[in-house]
Structure 1
Amino acid sequence: MTPPFDTLDWRKMSQEARDLGLNNSVAVKGSADIMTDWERRSGEMRGRHAGRLDLRYGPRERNRIDFLKARDRAPTLLFIHGGYWQMRSKEFFTHFAAGPMAQGINVALIGYTLAPDAKLDEIVAEIHAGIDFLAKELPALGGDGEGIVVSGWSAGGHLTAMALSHRHVRAGMAISGIYDLEPIRHSYLNVKLGLDEAASRRNSPMRLAGIDKPLSLVVGGAELPLLRKETSDFAAHRARQALPVTYEEIAGADHFSIMNELASPTGRITTLIRQLFERTE
């Protein structure tokens, strides 16, 4: 697998170019309106599935999980929201559960403390604590209890890769994620994250020992080149280690429209998630 961005090097960019190269809100026209629509549609879906919302897995305010049940003893997908670890919440993303639920998959959505109120090490630890809680509670909630597939978008894609080592996670589906945090550390995003070199390295999936579990990686063909390179490089990295990985670019999709492939029951991301469950039965 040859990365298609061999000549793209964030180190050689100006600060302004690097910052813009990571700024999806600027890159995608109307992104604020898109997020408003996501929040509205998610509120409607939360209203239809109000019985198991905001289950507390830890002591901090955002340490909560929503569980949306498709059917009894169904497998469970855990979705981790994005926002560069410092924006948004699980409540923006509920309506994306519709695709997997139509395939008979239960969906849980996890919240976590945002930077700067939490360091990235703490955020990763919260995700692991949430998985501990969910795995324990799944039988009572109506899940099958046989392991979870984790998925996430943007920063949630990074946290998906970091969650793959958890013993209750059987596979991962990472969407438009960040896998080497060094470009982030040298960008405007680090004002709130406060990463130093050591924290960047220990939280970069590209720099950690690979986990021998299936991981599907997708990114939009119309996304920012730096972000497309993150996914391509990580896929190549796992392939070199002979770790199970698939890599796809969704043609024409930007950082936001790629999520349509999860909202749809027949979307490509929904299909890949279903296949991950089938491969790890």
Structure 2
Amino acid sequence: MELDDAYANGAYIAGGDKFPDRWAGAAAAFRDAAQCELDQPYGGRAREDYDLFLPVGAPKGVVIFVHGGYWMAFDKSWWSHLAAGPLARGWAVAIPSYDLCPDITIAGITRQIAAVVDTVAARFAGLPLRLTGHSAGGHLVARMGCADVSLAARHRIARIVPVSPLGDLEPLLRTSMNETLQLDAAEARAESPVLHRAPDAPVTVWVGADERPAFIAQAQGLARAWQGDLVIEPARHHFDVIDGLADPDSNLVAALLG
């Protein structure tokens, strides 16, 4: 369809097809060495669980990372290694799975992420929460800042860092993937963070300079709508822009925890 190419990532990344295996291998190796509690439930459905990674000593707070995949692919097991940066800085990290379209709507996934945020917040009573997510996950953590989402722990959210987020879903109506997403115009508007009031928590929108123009425009649009900080990281594309989360000394981790 009209905008399929605009939102195609792997075709424009050298060796893009090799990244999923690389992520899965790094994640499995990290779990083998980490102090973690796997498959913690936040609801009653099969994919409503999260993996929790714990630092040495009492955590300073909790980072929740929400994965991408256009709401259609992956689960928590591909991303465990991205906990390494915050973990080394003394923060616990929760990484949830969620149901995938077309078995659920994007609005339904938004409700699932709200449920995991409240579940994790209750487990770590009184500690601050910092939310980050990539691509579709960037959309989902941005939605946690929107007043229409029922979220008991919103006042605990100290910062939101959407990475390469989809802040405006209306263009996706003009893509073939909408056969799976099954968005209509009303849901696309309701689920677009750019059309909601900015959250009280500070927001830093992060995107790679080598990403598709549509993703740079999406990041710019969300930062502008919410008057948040915008970082366009040099020499990063859609698949490696999240690598900084695995490095405690990276600028991305500094933005998330600073």
Question: What range is the shorter-chain TM-score in?
Answer: over 0.9
What are the Cα deviations for residues 99-124 of structure 1, in whole angstroms up to 9, with x where unaligned? 11111111110111010111111100
Aligned to 1:7: none
Higher Rg: 1
Alignment partner for residue 225 of structure 1, among 213, 236, 240?
Answer: 213
CA contact (8 A) 2:105 2:181 kept: yes
CA contact (8 A) 1:175 1:219 kept: yes
Q: Which sits farther off after the overlay, 22-31 or 92-101? A: 22-31
Aligned to 2:138: 157
What are the Cα deviations for residues 138-168 of structure 1, in whole angstroms up to 9, with x where unaligned? 25xxxxx323111000100000100124423
1:60 aligns with 2:48: no
Name the SS of the counterpart of 2:127 in structure 1: strand
- Bigger helix fraction: 1
**Matched residue type, 2:216:** R
Shift of 1:266: 1.3
CA contact (8 A) 1:82 1:155 kept: yes
CA distance in 1, matches of 2:166, 2:194: 9
**Matched residue type, 1:150:** L
Alignment partner for residue 72 of structure 1, among 58, 61, 79?
Answer: 58
CA contact (8 A) 2:59 2:91 kept: no
CA contact (8 A) 2:134 2:165 kept: yes
1:207 aligns with 2:188: no
CA distance in 2, matches of 1:175, 1:146: 23
Q: TM-score, normalised by structure 2?
A: 0.93
**Matched residue type, 1:179:** G
Label 1:225 to 1:259 Cα distance change in 2 as closer, same or farther (>3 A).
Answer: same
RMSD: 1.3
1:256 aligns with 2:239: yes
1:236 aligns with 2:224: yes
CA distance in 2, matches of 1:80, 1:51: 17
**Matched residue type, 2:62:** T
Report percent identity of matched pairs: 29
Equivalent residue pairs, number:
250
Aligned to 1:192: 180
CA contact (8 A) 2:60 2:127 kept: no
CA contact (8 A) 1:164 1:170 kept: no
Shift of 1:51: 4.2
Tell me, which stretches of 5 or more residues in structure 2 are unaligned? none
